[in-house]
């Protein structure tokens, strides 16, 4: 029987390696920019087209390579960083595996121009699918320029798995931001198509943060620093009041390498305990400096995971650094939350009574103001009830019957005495017992189906804002908004581009209380991204879910009888009335038999 085991050809081996190292365009961006940093560049320029699918070009002014080194850099496991096994435990450079360029060249059409400072001519290499097509001397600038064209052109299945341009562009921007944060002493430029996304001069870290994320961060940054013999921590924290509903802008670097660590993230969040609103996440960028012999970065091909030989010590230092920064900048409460403090018991009885009176007076005034708003009447108007489920092809007789049933249900609900329990539940008597409705979950279901219908037929009604509001986004979020322009407007938003990464909001969906255009629009994008990271949803369903979550009645809001009646009527008209878009129960029936069990009498 003949032998069947054989060595893979280099071209196939490189393609397999590329599956680990180059998962998407952003992976190639990361590897190429890291190589530029290791080459001692003080200027790095990134150019992408078609979200990196057509072109990724990284230009640097680093040391460049000789003709031999340029050719060797395309071979697997060719590296200038490692000479012996012990070198793995003394690494302070970014790339060291020697797989990046070989892997990228295996799945793209790659062109490299590189020249050393003391040379008059440089080297040009043209490679397609690991095969060198051209190698010749060329006049070029000092440093290296690498162009990666038509990524995954020779692996159609891999190319088909790439996401939409906004998603892939967001991943590229994420990688760019991480490296820009880690090296503020290097100037970075990022061009997407014909648009200049970032132009970042050399600066201090605080200036780099503001240049990347916007001027709004000037007022929320608090420096953080802690140093021990084992590890040092420095960076910046965002003030708790600026915390957001998504955890996107949180950065941990170990020896200037971006890492993901749930363990260290827990240390930061633990230090913020008691200061953040529920389900909110603070901004932070922390640099951990530690002797390389105490860490292992060779855990994952992308080098974003890391192991410490003493994780508990690092955890303690990170938490201590964040707590001290919060205390030093008056961001933490004066009370010691390690004790079980009953604040009311610390007040005199007279002061406590005054506080209660003020609290309930404010609650009463807010409820009265809300009950006077015409928007609730518009929000709960009858046209969005049973009739909206009817299709255009229903006969007049069927539609008449459906409308009569709607009116019958409406009359029953109006005649019923609805009760709001703890500003959270609506209690409604039914034939078989008691219907208990969760007001927020129910409203999310109602809004979700309405918004989804608007997106399907492109008929979202809008109400004009009396005072248009401008909102500035990160480059990634702005690109996402531009890609979803038609869908967002179909929901009822009206907005226009107003400068770099900025939009002006002129209108919001009908039925939503005006005055919070900015927070609502920002919340929509934040919720959309959160859904996108946790679920696999079609674009329209994700947007409908996101807006329903942000625009719905919240637990704790007081409702009038008319508002409760309208909400119940609209809920019963939904196609899936029993569950919120997230799958939570909107209502249940407590039947009479079960109620009777609690009152058994002899």
Give the tens place of pLDDT for each residue, 464-500: 888 888 998 888 888 889 888 889 999 999 999 988 8
Most confident among 94-108, 140-154, 356-370 (mean pLDDT): 140-154
pLDDT at residue 338 tops 50: no
- pLDDT top residue among 280 and 351: 280
- pLDDT top residue among 327 and 496: 496
| Percentage of the chain modeled with pLDDT above 90 | 40
Q: Report the alpha-carbon distance of residue 230 to residue 395 in Å, rounded.
A: 78
pLDDT single digits (tens) 448-461: 999 998 888 877 78
Position 72 scores a pLDDT of 87
Position 75 scores a pLDDT of 80
Of 110-119, 354-363, 406-415, 555-564, give the lowest mean pLDDT range. Answer: 354-363
Mean predicted confidence (pLDDT) in 46-59: 95
Which backbone phi and psi does 192 adopt, to 5 degrees? -110, 115
Q: Report the alpha-carbon distance of residue 79 to residue 81 in Å, rounded.
A: 5
Mean predicted confidence (pLDDT) in 562-576: 90
Parallel, antiparallel, or unpaired: how do β-strands 284-290 and 250-254 relate? parallel
Helix (H), strand (E), coil (C) string for 10-29: HHHHHHHHHHHHCCCHHHHH
Q: Report the alpha-carbon distance of residue 71 to residue 500 in Å, rounded.
A: 41
pLDDT at residue 372 tops 70: no
Catalogue the E-assigned strands of 315-458.
419-421, 425-430, 433-438
pLDDT single digits (tens) 247-268: 768 999 999 999 988 889 999 9
pLDDT single digits (tens) 277-310: 777 889 999 999 999 888 877 655 555 778 888 8
- DSSP-H helix ranges across 259-307: 262-271
Position 495 scores a pLDDT of 93
pLDDT single digits (tens) 160-205: 888 888 889 989 999 999 999 999 999 999 999 888 889 999 999 9
Q: Report the alpha-carbon distance of residue 266 to residue 83 in Å, rounded.
A: 37
Q: Report the alpha-carbon distance of residue 102 to residue 338 in Å, rounded.
A: 54
Position 17 scores a pLDDT of 53
Residue 78 banded pLDDT, cuts 50, 70, 90 = low
Q: Report the alpha-carbon distance of residue 134 to residue 108 in Å, rounded.
A: 15
Mean predicted confidence (pLDDT) in 510-531: 87
Are 145 and 112 within 8 A, CB to CB?
yes
Spatial CB neighbours of 594, under 8 Å, sequence gap ≥ 6 = 433
Position 195 scores a pLDDT of 87
Position 28 scores a pLDDT of 93
Position 234 scores a pLDDT of 95
Position 353 scores a pLDDT of 40
Long-range contact set of residues 598-602: C-beta below 8 Å, sequence gap at least 24: none
Q: Report the alpha-carbon distance of residue 304 to residue 409 in Å, rounded.
A: 58
pLDDT at residue 555 tops 90: no
Long-range contact set of residues 412-415: C-beta below 8 Å, sequence gap at least 24: 413/565, 413/568, 413/569, 414/565
Position 190 scores a pLDDT of 96
pTM of the shown model: 0.64
Average model confidence (pLDDT) across the chain: 80
Are 446 and 571 within 8 A, CB to CB?
yes
Which backbone phi and psi does 18 adopt, to 5 degrees? -60, -30
Are 252 and 286 within 8 A, CB to CB?
yes
Mean predicted confidence (pLDDT) in 492-509: 90
Which DSSP category does 513 fall into?
Answer: P
Parallel, antiparallel, or unpaired: how do β-strands 122-128 and 131-138 relate? antiparallel
- pLDDT top residue among 278 and 350: 278
pLDDT at residue 390 tops 80: no
- Local structure of 423: helix, strand or coil: coil
Which backbone phi and psi does 57 adopt, to 5 degrees? -130, 130
Mean predicted confidence (pLDDT) in 142-151: 95
Burial (CB count within 10 angstroms: exposed 0-12, middle 13-18, buried 19+), residue 180 = buried
């Amino acid at each position: 029987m003949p032998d069947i085991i054989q060595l893979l050809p280099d071209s196939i081996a490189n393609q397999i390696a590329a599956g680990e190292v180059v998962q998407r365009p952003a992976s190639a961006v990361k590897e190429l920019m890291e190589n530029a940093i290791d080459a001692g560049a003080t200027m790095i320029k990134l150019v992408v087209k078609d979200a990196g699918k057509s072109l990724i070009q990284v230009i640097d002014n680093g040391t460049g390579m000789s003709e031999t080194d340029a050719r060797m850099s395309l071979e697997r496991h060719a590296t200038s960083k490692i000479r012996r096994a012990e070198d793995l435990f003394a690494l302070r450079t970014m790339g060291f595996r020697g797989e990046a360029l070989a892997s990228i060249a295996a799945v793209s059409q790659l062109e490299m121009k590189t020249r050393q400072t003391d040379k008059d001519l440089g080297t040009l290499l043209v490679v397609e699918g690991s095969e060198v097509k051209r190698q010749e001397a060329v006049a070029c600038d000092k440093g290296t320029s690498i162009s990666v064209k038509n990524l995954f052109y020779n692996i159609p299945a891999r190319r088909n798995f790439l996401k939409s341009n906004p998603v892939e562009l967001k991943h590229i921007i994420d990688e760019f931001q991480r490296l820009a944060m880690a090296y503020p002493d290097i100037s970075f430029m990022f061009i997407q198509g014909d648009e200049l996304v970032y132009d970042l001069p050399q600066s201090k870290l605080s200036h780099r943060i503001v240049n990347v994320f916007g001027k709004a961060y000037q007022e929320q940054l608090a420096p953080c620093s802690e140093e021990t013999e084992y590890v040092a921590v420095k960076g910046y924290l965002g003030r708790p009041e600026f915390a957001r509903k998504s955890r996107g802008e949180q950065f941990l670097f170990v020896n200037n390498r971006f890492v993901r660590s749930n363990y260290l993230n827990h240390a930061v969040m633990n230090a913020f305990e008691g200061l953040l609103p529920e389900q909110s996440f603070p901004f932070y960028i922390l640099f951990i400096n530690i002797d390389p012999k105490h860490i292992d970065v060779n855990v994952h091909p992308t080098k974003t995971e890391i192991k410490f030989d003493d994780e508990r010590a690092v955890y303690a230092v990170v938490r201590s650094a964040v707590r001290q920064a919060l205390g030093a900048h008056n961001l933490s409460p004066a009370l010691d939350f390690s004790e079980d403090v009953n604040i009311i018991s610390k007040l005199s009885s007279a002061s406590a009574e005054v506080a209660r009176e003020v609290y309930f007076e404010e609650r009463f005034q807010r409820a009265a103001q809300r009950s006077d708003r015409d928007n609730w009447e518009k929000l709960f108007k009858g046209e969005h009830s049973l009739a909206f489920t009817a299709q255009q092809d229903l006969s007049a007789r069927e539609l008449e019957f459906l409308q009569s049933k709607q009116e019958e249900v409406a009359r029953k609900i109006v005649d019923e005495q609805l009760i709001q329990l703890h500003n959270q539940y609506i209690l409604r008597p039914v034939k078989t017992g008691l219907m208990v409705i969760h007001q927020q979950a129910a409203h999310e279901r109602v809004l979700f189906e309405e918004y989804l219908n608007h997106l399907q037929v492109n008929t979202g009604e809008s109400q004009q804002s009396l005072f248009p509001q401008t909102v500035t986004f990160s480059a990634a979020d702005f690109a996402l908004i531009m890609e979803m322009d038609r869908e967002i407007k179909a929901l009822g938003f009206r907005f226009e581009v107003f400068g770099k990464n900025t939009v002006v909001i002129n209108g919001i969906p009908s039925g939503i209380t005006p005055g919070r255009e900015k927070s609502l629009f920002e919340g929509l994008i934040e919720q959309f991204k959160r859904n996108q990271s946790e679920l696999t949803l079609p674009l329209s369903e994700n947007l409908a879910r996101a807006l329903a979550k942000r625009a719905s009645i919240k637990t704790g809001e007081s409702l009038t009888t008319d508002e409760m009646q309208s909400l119940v009527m609209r809920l019963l008209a939904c196609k899936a009335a029993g569950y919120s878009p997230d799958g939570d129960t909107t209502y249940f029936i407590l039947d009479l038999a079960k109620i009777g069990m609690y009152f058994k009498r002899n």
